[in-house]
Amino acid sequence: MRQRRSYPRLQEPAPTGDVLESIFAAALCAPDHMRLRPWRFLTIEGDQRDSLGGLFAAHEHAKDSCASELILQQAHQKALRAPLIIVGIAAYRKHPKVPPIEQALAAGGVLNNMGLAAYCSGFGAVWRTGSYAYSKIVKAGLRVASHEDIIGYLYLGTPPTWDRQASTIEVDDYVHAWPQ
């Protein structure tokens, strides 16, 4: 895990078949207070990525009706940065002991586990959010219900041949004994 890194663009192939099933099975073991399973996931690949890119472009156009063709094209291209995109959705359940923030964290834990499991299976991943995760247009196009939120887009595929070194993080910069 210490060598895990994000790749901005991934190429074919993406995980498929038993490998992808194994990634999902491992990921679903994330901590989940009261076993609510407050999540669902969409897989987007092939030509479906063009449809997602269309939603991204529609969001940009709604944000600025004078957006240039270049801006719209760049938005569309963002859905083509990997052969497989998994949309993570927090599907909140009403529960007196489990507030929505805990449910979103549980869903995020599953999406993060998918990225780690993909990495352990020899694939690359990058988790993206940005305005497309909060866009009413994108959410409607993906049929995300009013009681749900997109928590991220996990892009999966094969890393490029160049090796991107993971940065070193100093533990002492972030972990401290209490009280200080």
What confidence score (pLDDT) does residue 77 get? 99
The residue-averaged pLDDT of 55-80 equals 98
11: amino acid identity, one letter: Q
Classify each residue of 97-119 as buried b or exposed e, where b means 16 or more C-beta atoms within 10 Å of its C-beta.
ebeeebbbbbbbbbbbbbbebbb
Bridge partners, residue 41, by sequence: 88
Chain mean pLDDT for the chain: 96
- Over residues 15-25, the pLDDT tens digits come to 999 999 999 99
Structure confidence by residue, pLDDT tens digits, 105-161: 999 999 999 999 999 999 999 999 999 999 999 999 999 999 999 999 999 999 988
pTM: 0.94
Report all structural domains of the chain as residue ranges with CATH numbers, in order of start.
17-157 (3.40.109.10)
Q: What is the pLDDT of residue 3?
A: 77
Query: Hey, what are 106's tokens?
Result: 């549980």
pLDDT of residue 43: 99
Token readout for 6 is: 């994000």
Peptide bond into 179 cis (omega under 30): yes
Strands of the 84-91 sheet, one edge to the other: 39-45, 84-91, 148-157, 124-128
Closest CA to 151 of 116, 117, 101: 101
| Residue 6, pLDDT score | 87
Give pLDDT, residue 8.
87
What percentage of the chain carries pLDDT values higher than 70?
Answer: 98
